[in-house]
Amino acid sequence: MTRWSENIRGLLMIPETAARAYRVVDFAELPGVPCPCGTARRAFADVPEFPGTIHVTEIDLDARLHHHKTLTETYYILECQPGARMQLDDEVVPLHPGLCVMIPPGVRHRAIGRMKVLIVVFPKFDPADEWLD
């Protein structure tokens, strides 16, 4: 017989097993942490089998220009205000929902304008690898 457990809000029914091969994360339940872009909610940092992290980030108007020495970030734009852009080194790229931007190590970047983005990071996110200009 399968036993079931509920998350805090009771919205997600997950079977209890001794060792699940999968993970389920409700980003609404994750604490937001400050970052150079705004506020990030980060998942899967504690999962050794997953080589990266997944973030949902609310970008503030005053996102800071920064780069990473080892991390590759891929931004998927979920929502953004009209006129939203991203600075990538010395180029500014217009953004819209559904656009995806891959940012390899060494590329200075910042989002310009309010937006909500899904960020896939490889290898796992390391706050020590955020280098502000």
pTM: 0.84
pLDDT for residue 20: 76
N-terminal to C-terminal alpha carbon distance within the chain: 57
Question: DSSP character for 65?
Answer: P
Q: 30-132 is classed in which CATH architecture?
A: Sandwich (2.60)
- pLDDT digits 0-9 by tens, 49-61: 999 999 999 999 8
pLDDT band at 87 (very low <50, low <70, confident <90, very high): very high
The answer on pLDDT for 16 being more than 90 is: no
Point out which residues pair with 73 in neighbouring strands: 103, 121
Average pLDDT of the residues in 77-85: 97
For residues 8 and 103, give the distance between their C-alpha atoms in angstroms, rounded to a whole number: 35
For residues 49 and 21, give the distance between their C-alpha atoms in angstroms, rounded to a whole number: 9
For residues 11 and 5, give the distance between their C-alpha atoms in angstroms, rounded to a whole number: 10
For residues 31 and 19, give the distance between their C-alpha atoms in angstroms, rounded to a whole number: 25
